[in-house]
Every structure is written in C-alpha cells, then in structure tokens.
Amino acid sequence: APASFDTNRVMATVRMLAGQIGSRPAGSDAARQAAQYLVQELRSLGYEAETPPFTFRDYIDRGSELRVDGRLVGTNTLRNSPAGAVRGQLVAAGLGRPEDFAGLEVRGKIALIQRGVLTFRDKVRNAAAAGAAAAVIYNNQPGNFRGTLGEPSQIPAVSISQEDGDALAEQLRNGQLQAEVTVRSEVREITDQNVVARRAGTSGRIVIIGGQYDSVPDGPGANDNASGTAISLELARILAAGYPHEVRVVLFGAEENGLIGSAEYVRTLDADTKGRIIAMLNLDMVGVGERLRLGGSSELINLASELAGSLGLRPERIPPDQAGGSDHVSFLRENIPALFFWRPDDPAYHTANDRPENVEPARVEEVGRLALAVLEALKNR
C-alpha cells in the first residue's frame, strides 16, 4: 500500500518555512535559505534537486499624484512609468492616437488622454513622440483603474477617474490649466531562484507538483504559501515509494512579483518535455478556510471534483475566465494541463498575521488527500 499522507510532517514544514525562516520575498536571503532547505529535503527523499537562478526587473510603485491649479486629483501610477516630477500646461489629446496629436502643441506639456481603443502603452508612446512631458489617462467608465504599460515608458504616466477626467476636459474647453504630475517609483534587478527536483519514471509521462515558496514582504506566508509548498514535499515523499510517471517537484520563486518563477521554468522546457506532461498540480493557499476552489484544465477539474465527492469534499469550480493569478497560469499558457487548488477565505492574506498557528491541519489534510487521489488516478494515464 502507498504511504499515507502525514499531516504532522506537513505542519512541521510550515513551521520551518514561516516560523523559523519567516518572510521570504524574492531576492532575499530568507528566500535563498528556504530554497536550500527545500533542496535538502527533496534530496533526502531521493530526488535530484537544484536551485536554478533567474534575474528579473522588479518595478516598485511608491505612489503618484496630480495637481491641477494646485488642487489634488487622485491618481494610480501606470505600472512601468518612470519616476519624475513634471510641471506644465494640461492639454486634451482625445484618445491619444497619432491623429489626435497632429496639429496639437504638446511639447513640454501634459497630455490628458481618454481610455479606450488603444493600449495604454501606445497612448503614452504617442504622447512622448509628440513631445509631451507626461501623460494622464482618464477612465471611460466610473471610477479609476489600475493599468500597466507593459514596458518602461519615456515619460511619467498616471491614471485618474472618469469623473475627474471629464471635469478637466470640460474646464479645458473654457480655458487653460496648469498641472503637475509626480511619480515615485524604482526599478531593481533581482536575482532569485526556483527549486526544481525530479525522480525518474518508467512511463515516459511526467507529472509536476508545486507551488510558490516565496512570500510577500509584509508577512511570514504560512498559508500563502508554506501550506502548498509543504504539501508538495509530502506528496513527493509518498510518490518516492514508487510511481510510474516521472515526478517533478517545482517550487517557484517570485510568484508574488507576477508569476516570474513559473514563467521562467516553463520557458526552459522543450517541446518534447511539454508534450509529455500529463498534469501540473499547483497548490497555493490551501490551509485556511472551509471553501476549496479548483481551477485550470476542465478535464483535471472534472477528475478532481469526482474524487472529492468520495472524500466528502465539495469544491467549487473557478470559471475559466477567472483562471486565478497563480503559477498554474504559466503552464496553461503553453497548453500544459494544470490543476489549481486554492482556498479563498483567509483573513490574514498578505499580512503579518499569516502565521503557522493559523494554518488548519484538517484543511491541509483534505487538500493533500485530494491531490494524492488525483495523482493515483493519473497512474493509469
């Protein structure tokens, strides 16, 4: 009989990662320490394991503001906007298309642009090409929004609400406005690492088990995601006793910075390897709260939902259009079948209170046993 799921072992790993090592944001000494600990654990279970490094640019938003004739208007920084403070006349530039800037004198001025039709990146690019010193994009529906430029822009750029934008556009029809845009941001090069382990199989097929092992800077990340990391180690222990498929355990760095580690891992896979992966199981935030949600590939969700019934669990399905911001998404993008396990109701999410004593052993066990049932069912695939 296969070894049974040992919740005490899982809780000990949670205490190690979130209790002893603590907060482990990407690039930190604590993240490196956690990666070393995980590699040693996996090697002791008989896996080949390593910590391949990767480097990425991390954008840090320290806030922004817009003053118009001295009055403060609420802004969001458009992600990837450079830092800077710009004063100048505010000029209405329609939707920010090249033809909107034709014949408009915006050199050294601040362009007020309506959201819609073009990407934020193209609007800001067009404004910069016309000589504008900064760009302000106002929403085309009520309230403000958070947007990203997708690449560093040449000029500071912020967003404001539809209400503020309409009011400013109206005032510009009747006269001039002086404005000041300030963006406080920084870009850092960060070197981080994934933890990648493997154990050979005999079938030619591959299963991947994993989840992020990093945390936000604000807390020790016990549920998010020492819980999923610890379950992955326990599943690795059980499968080491004998499993037909090659088992890869991949614990991702820099998930909290935008799924960086998983995107990096998937980028290293060749077409042959991608084609042999029958399932990627992503365990993220699975130790707090009654509700369990499953997302990812519908075939795997169906399988897991069926098996959940026999374990007395009633998971909810995450609709495909809300794939969820977690590492399985990096696999789905490459058409690799993936299954996401997630509990949505953690009051301590991303806070200093996400501590080991708040992780519920019974919840951990439910997910561990369900993941194990899925892996057992995949034996014959």
Tokens of 162: 């539809």
Tokens of 219: 């807390």
Q: Please enumerate in sequence order all residues whose Cβ is within 8 A of that of 320, keeping only pairs 6 or more positions apart, or say none.
A: 298
Q: How far apart are CA 355 and CA 349, in angstroms?
A: 10
Coil vs helix vs strand at 369: helix
Q: How far apart are CA 153 and CA 213, in angstroms?
A: 32
Give the count of beta carbons closer than 10 Å to the beta carbon of residue 309. 10
Give me the sign of the Cα torsion angle 197, 202, 206, 211: negative
Query: What string of DSSP letters covers 48-111?
Result: EEE--EEEEEEEEEEEEEEEETTEEE--EEPBTPPPEEEEEEEEE-TT--HHHHTT---TTSEE
- Using alpha carbons only, give the angle 71, 72, 74 rounded to the nearest 5 degrees: 145
**Tokens 């919840």 map to which residue?**
363
* Cβ pair 44, 35 in contact under 8 A: no
> Is residue 65 among the annotated active site residues?
no
Tokens of 365: 């066990």
* Cβ pair 338, 300 in contact under 8 A: yes
| Three-state helix/strand/coil letters over 298-319 | HHHHHHHHHHHHHCCCCCEECC
Q: Annotated catalytic residue: which of 41, 234, 246, 255?
A: 255
The residues that are catalytic are: 255
